[in-house]
A and B are shown apart, each in its own frame.
Chain A
């Protein structure tokens, strides 16, 4: 049981380049999330999805896009990378969001540097 798998683990982008961060889960979770975490800071929600075909913005969506065509996959697209997007990106999934007994399973993260 792999859980939540993120690729790549590390990436260096040049300003203005684009890339897709991949996230896949094998737990049949309906809920999936993308967070970023800057050094020494908390988690900030970028986008989330409550099921295939449904996505919604979090608190810091600008500069990012997502899609959810299957239950398993939730890729995050960075367009026109900027130094402010240098961060660690975590994907997470959950069986039922905030409901009783749920909780998130996080991937191992992608460390992105924009230069």
Chain B
């Protein structure tokens, strides 16, 4: 089992819909989780991090963490075509020095 796994996608939603991106992790000691967005041909950029159980909201983005189920998700409300990108989930043990990345989920928002 991979340390961090993402639903394989690709995911396609209509403009204005909610996009839900999911990630599971295998190591219960993992504490912090990060979501990165990567546009085609560009480098990843950090969009959110979460370390407490529950929800964390930032504008149209909500990150959710459920440590009991070892599950992390990213919700994008009112999806826009500009949200079309690959979303990478990452996390790991706090003293590992490095995050483990999932393979990414490609989201397409259709006008």
A98/B32 in contact, CB under 8 A? yes
Contact of B102 among A42, A48, A101, A106 (CB under 8 A): A42
Instruction: Report the separation of the CA atoms of residues A33 and B43 in the bound assembly, to the nearest whole angstrom.
Output: 14
B94/A99 in contact, CB under 8 A? yes
List the A residue with the shortest CB-CB distance to B35.
A103
B43/A106 in contact, CB under 8 A? yes
Cβ of A50: which chain B residues have Cβ within 8 Å of it?
A: 97
Interface centre among A98, A105, A107, A109 (most CB of B within 10 A): A98
A contact residues, total (Cβ < 8 Å): 24
B49/A101 in contact, CB under 8 A? yes
Q: Is the interface of B mostly helix, strand, loop or mixed?
A: loop
Q: Smallest CB–CB gap between B85 and chain A, Å?
A: 14
Cβ of B103: which chain A residues have Cβ within 8 Å of it?
A: 41-42
The answer to whether A103 and B34 touch (CB under 8 A), given A43-B88, A90-B43, A90-B44, is yes
A100/B96 in contact, CB under 8 A? no
Q: Does any Cβ of A come within 8 Å of B17's Cβ?
A: no
Q: Is the interface of A mostly helix, strand, loop or mixed?
A: loop
The answer to whether A103 and B49 touch (CB under 8 A), given A41-B103, A98-B32, is yes
Instruction: Report the separation of the CA atoms of residues A97 and B46 in the bound assembly, to the nearest whole angstrom.
Output: 13
Instruction: Report the separation of the CA atoms of residues A56 and B98 in the bound assembly, to the nearest whole angstrom.
Output: 11
B43/A58 in contact, CB under 8 A? no
Q: Does any Cβ of A come within 8 Å of B51's Cβ?
A: yes
Cβ of B43: which chain A residues have Cβ within 8 Å of it?
A: 90, 106-109
Q: Can you give 20 A-B contacts (C-beta < 8 A)?
A: A42-B104, A58-B98, A90-B44, A97-B94, A97-B96, A98-B30, A98-B32, A98-B93, A98-B96, A98-B98, A98-B99, A99-B94, A100-B31, A101-B32, A101-B49, A103-B49, A104-B34, A104-B90, A105-B46, A106-B43
Given contacts A31-B98, A42-B102, A97-B97, 8 further A-B contacts (CB under 8 A): A42-B101, A43-B44, A56-B97, A98-B92, A99-B32, A100-B31, A104-B36, A109-B43
